[in-house]
A = this chain, B = another copy of it.
Amino acid sequence: MMHPEYVTGFCDGEASFSVTVSPRGSSWEIRPSFSVSQNEASKDVLYKLQHFFGCGYVRPSRSDNTYKYEIRSLPELRDKIIPHFQKHSLYTEKQKNFEIFVAIVKLMLGGKHLTKDGLREIVLLLEKLNPKCKKIYDRKKLQELMNV
């Protein structure tokens, strides 16, 4: 079994805490995701992470011959992923992303994403995420969301 500090160190370099916003009917869907990608030669480490956290799936990405370990389930993010990184802190700028990610997951667990004010709060938090994460959602659609 991997050491918890190894897991934090590896994720500090390789993992992503991201949140996507996409239209769904007359509302918007907010999807937080914790993921780690590796090329095929190192895919074993993803299965070891899956074993360590006891949740999530490893899937191949056909487009670029990589594998991705991902968790999207809110209860699993709340019970397994977030507590791990709260106990074993990240050292890089990813720590800031993690804190924003936690704030968004908490708002969602409280059902805030189902209200206009809650959605606005989430989008303001998303704005603080790093540039990579910003690219995930469409800026025009974001404006529409802010004007709901």
Contact = CB atoms under 8 A, between A and B. Distances in A.
Interface of A: 2-14, 38, 41-42, 44-45, 48, 88, 91-94
A12 B10 contact: yes
User: A-B pairs with the 9 shortest C-beta distances?
Assistant: A9-B9, A13-B13, A9-B10, A6-B9, A5-B5, A42-B92, A3-B5, A13-B14, A5-B6
A13 B2 CA distance: 14
Contact of A45 (B45, B88, B92): B92
Given A3-B5, A5-B3, A91 B12 contact: no
Contacts of A45: 12, 91-92
A42 B9 CA distance: 13
